[in-house]
Amino acid sequence: MEIRNRSGFAASDEGLSRRNLLRSAGLAAALIPLSGVLAACGSDSGGGGAAAPAAAKGVPLPTYVPPVKPKALLEGSAEGVMDVYASFPMDGPRTVNGTIGDGSDFNVLIMTYGQPSPPVDQSPYWQLLNKELNLNVIPHQVPYADFQTKFPALVAGDDLPEFVSVPLYENVARLPQLAEAQFTDLSEFLSGDAVKKYPNLAGIQKAGWLNGYLNGRIYGVPKSDPVFSTQIYTKTDVIKAAGANPQPTNLQEFKDLAKAVTNAQAGVYAFGGNIADFMMMMFGVPNKWTRKADGTFVSAWEHEAFIPAMSELADLYKSGCFHPDTPTLMTNKVQRDALFRSGKLAMLYDGNRSVGIVADDKDVVFDIMVPFGKDGGNAVHWTGGGAYAMTMIKKTTDKKRIDMFLRVLDYIAAPFGSRESFIMSYGVEGVDYEVKDGVAVLTTRGQREQDLGLAYIAGGPQVLCDPQGAPGVDKLNHDWQQKVVPMLLDNPAAHLYSETFNAKGASLQQQMQDAVTAVFLGREPASGLTAAVQKWKTGGGDKMAKEYAEAAAHAG
């Protein structure tokens, strides 16, 4: 109705196409992370892009110096298994010495995943950090889902604050060029052994650094991310009641499980969302690209197992073990989660961090399914991009300022168990946290003040530590991670630069997602994917392959 379209929007804009569109685009960006599983991997390489065509040989990445860490309850591994701790040590060692800041303003663009922080005069946590850093921290908070809307405006208006943290799960258009034009090349300070001046930054691993490694130079300091991408949660009671086996080891057993738990009369179904990625990994489809021996790149869409995997997926859907509302549930994570918790879905396929959301309800007893190959044996497990945010400093030649910036990030990146890390995570005793049975427990106020978000702009490997969470979940996750490590598969193009990907990657990816969804829901036969892949190739896929091959050859 025009009344809504026009006047409803009249106050904010003239109801005109362009701005309406972009306004809604912000919203859309919010919805996309939950629109099915494909999204989980759809944007991870977006922040990538390294050696630009003309760049000279890149500088060495920062040297990795493993951080000193307290004894873990369950030890992680260099391959990415996360350490598990029962609780956060409250008397950890100092990892940062001396005064950090010079009392100046520290304007920083931060994604906010929660509400806006309480103002500084009402936030002892913020005051404490100001004191610790000897700075006046001024966060410019942007709701993470609106980043794609606000960021271009800030860039166009030259309004970016001095320090900027960008999310890497969003496709920041032409990030390498932007970095080169507006941000400081940190190579001199971070490349090779130089990073050792900032020991906590030296504790960040290569997979993280690659995200800030643009045009062969180091522009950003990453906030590292676990290497695992997605998990299937299985609801123990539902599967038990159906007398099924919650841990299949091949496709047939998987199908048997799905059929066994489905009970349409009772409204119970195996799944409520698209599991296309899971099927592809089960069939051994590579992580977006394969680099062949001759240096050429071939996309996963062209892999021989892709279409058979999708064909199985379509059959599974047709067999009726997906919730009848799956088409709409794909874009409604809230409802999907509710159905899983209440036992209407026996399985839930989601990003690996959802374990926290699932485990949030302590009454929900669940397990995590270990991936398997279609004929038994191992599946592949696609790794993520290595980091979810990175932080940069606007172009400056003031070396003291750059050094201060890195010292601030060094503080923020302090590893688990250190004094600094404890302060970042817990704030002021008696206000932000209380000690119960020797364990620090965040108060509601403490949780609120954490919305400052400063903790999420830089950091090394994360750990599993949730003393207030459901018992056993961290161990469950740890065990799962150990079993998945041998299946990990990187995307060989993740940090290579492709001009085509940079300009058209997101829309090309969408085309393929649409094609996969159509097959999944039975609108198109799986054989139709051949044409979709061909369209993807001529639309830019072939060019991307060529550009990746060149970039890889260049990088050596």
Partner 1 sequence: MSNPGRPVWLGKPKPVAVALKALALVLISAVVIFPFLVVVSTSLATKKQIDANGGYVLWPTQISFEAYHQIFNGTQVARSIVISVGVTVVGTAFSLFCTVLAAYGLSRRGSLFQRGLLSFVLLTLLFGPGMIPVYLMVKQLGMLDSYWSLIIPGAVSAFNIVIVRGFIQGIPKELFDAARIDGAGEWRILRSIVLPLSKAVIAVVGLFLAVGYWNNYFSPLLYLNDTQKWPLQLVMRTFVLQNNVTSTAHAIPGYVAPPAQSVQMALVAIATLPILCVYPFLTKHMSKGMLTGAVKG
Partner 2 sequence: MALKQALPRVTAEGSESQITPQKMPFLARLWRDAPLLVMVAPAAIVLLLFTYIPLLGSVVAWMDYVPFLGFTGSDWVGWDNFTALFSDQAFWSAVWNTLQITFLQLLLFFPVPILLAVLLNTVAVPMAKNFVQSVIYLPHFLSWVIIIALFQQVLGGAGVVNRFLITHGLTPFEVMSNPDTFKLLLTTQAIWKDAGWGTIIFLAAIAAIDPGLYESATMDGAGAWRRFWHITLPGMRPIIVLLLILRLGDSLTVGFEQILLQRDAVGPGSAEVLDTFVYYNGVVDGSWGTATAAGLIKGVVSLFLVLAANKIAHRFGEEGVYKR
**Which parts of this chain interact with partner 2 (CB under 8 A)?**
1-6, 8, 14, 16-18, 20-22, 24-25, 27-28, 31, 35-36, 148, 152-153, 155-156, 171-174, 177-178, 181-182, 264-265, 267, 323-328, 330-332, 335, 503-507, 510, 514, 517-518, 521, 523
Nearer to partner 1, 304 or 437 (CB): 437
Nearer to partner 1, 64 or 113 (CB): 113
DSSP β-ladder status, 289-291 and 381-382? unpaired
SS3 content of the chain, % helix, strand, coil (to 5): 45, 15, 40
Task: Provide, rounded to whole angstroms, the least separation between the CB of residue 5 and partner 2.
Answer: 6
Burial of 18 (0-12, 13-18, 19+ CB in 10 A): exposed
**What DSSP string runs through 310-322?**
HHHHHHHHHTT-B
By a kind-dependent CB cut-off of 5 to 8 A, residue 338 interacts, out of partner 1, partner 2, none, with: partner 1
Please name the residue that has the structure tokens 């196409």: 17
3-state secondary structure of 377: coil
Task: Provide, rounded to whole angstroms, the least separation between the CB of residue 158 and partner 2.
Answer: 9
Task: Provide, rounded to whole angstroms, the least separation between the CB of residue 432 and partner 2.
Answer: 33
Task: Provide, rounded to whole angstroms, the least separation between the CB of residue 49 and partner 2.
Answer: 13
- For residue 485, what are its two tokens? 């490590």
Evaluate whether 53 touches 364 at the Cβ level (below 8 Å). no
By a kind-dependent CB cut-off of 5 to 8 A, residue 178 interacts, out of partner 2, partner 1, none, with: partner 2
Task: Provide, rounded to whole angstroms, the least separation between the CB of residue 499 and partner 2.
Answer: 12
For 286, other C-beta atoms within 10 Å of its C-beta total 22
Nearer to partner 2, 137 or 270 (CB): 270
**What DSSP string runs through 358-416?**
HHTSTT--EEEEPP--BTBS---EE---SEEEEEEEBS---HHHHHHHHHHHHHHTPPT
| C-alpha to C-alpha distance for 181 and 504, rounded to whole angstroms | 21
By a kind-dependent CB cut-off of 5 to 8 A, residue 463 interacts, out of partner 2, partner 1, none, with: partner 1
Task: Provide, rounded to whole angstroms, the least separation between the CB of residue 44 and partner 1.
Answer: 10
Nearer to partner 1, 139 or 208 (CB): 139
Nearer to partner 2, 204 or 258 (CB): 258
**Where would I find the H helices in 114-211?**
124-133, 147-156, 175-182, 187-190, 199-202, 206-209
Task: Provide, rounded to whole angstroms, the least separation between the CB of residue 67 and partner 1.
Answer: 15
By a kind-dependent CB cut-off of 5 to 8 A, residue 465 interacts, out of partner 1, partner 2, none, with: partner 1
- For residue 103, what are its two tokens? 């009392």
By a kind-dependent CB cut-off of 5 to 8 A, residue 380 interacts, out of partner 1, partner 2, none, with: none
Evaluate whether 166 touches 202 at the Cβ level (below 8 Å). no
Nearer to partner 1, 24 or 99 (CB): 24
- Dihedral sign of CA atoms 147, 149, 155, 158 in order: negative
3-state secondary structure of 37: coil
By a kind-dependent CB cut-off of 5 to 8 A, residue 54 interacts, out of partner 2, partner 1, none, with: none
Task: Provide, rounded to whole angstroms, the least separation between the CB of residue 273 and partner 1.
Answer: 12
Count the alpha carbons within 13 Å of 409 in the hemisphere toward its beta carbon: 33
By a kind-dependent CB cut-off of 5 to 8 A, residue 466 interacts, out of partner 2, partner 1, none, with: partner 1
Task: Provide, rounded to whole angstroms, the least separation between the CB of residue 427 and partner 2.
Answer: 34
Nearer to partner 2, 21 or 553 (CB): 21
By a kind-dependent CB cut-off of 5 to 8 A, residue 118 interacts, out of partner 1, partner 2, none, with: partner 1
- For residue 200, what are its two tokens? 């906590």
By a kind-dependent CB cut-off of 5 to 8 A, residue 105 interacts, out of partner 2, partner 1, none, with: none
- For residue 205, what are its two tokens? 């691993």
| C-alpha to C-alpha distance for 367 and 344, rounded to whole angstroms | 16
- For residue 423, what are its two tokens? 């302060």
